Amino acid sequence: MQTRPASGCARRGAQACSQHRQAARRVERSGSHLARIIDGMIKSGKAYDENEAFKVTPSSQARRLLNLHKQAAKLGLQLVPAV
């Protein structure tokens, strides 16, 4: 009876296999990010503008502040406005 060679993950070990999956996920996320940028450029008919892409909008500011409040609450802290 002939045995098949071990799969790539079995030969590399669990840690190497995990790192390989993480790298694949990063590539997939990067591709999705680029696809969203290109789709927006096609739909709007405008060229990519980095200043526009990273502009802070009121909704993004509110979302960041809400997340900051949640993180502070997890640590048992409370955010107060600076005077």
Residue 3 located in a structural domain: no
Q: Which residues of 49-66 are buried (b: 16+ CB within 10 A; e: fewer)?
A: eeeeeeeeeeeeeeeeee
Calpha distance 81→68 (Å, rounded): 13
Residue 63 located in a structural domain: yes
> How many domains is the chain built from?
1
pLDDT digits (tens, 9 = 90+) for 7-47: 566 666 777 788 888 888 888 889 998 999 899 899 999 99
Calpha distance 78→71 (Å, rounded): 10
Instruction: For residue 72, give both structure tokens.
Output: 């502070």
Residue 49 located in a structural domain: yes
Of the chain, the percentage scoring pLDDT greater than 90 comes to: 42
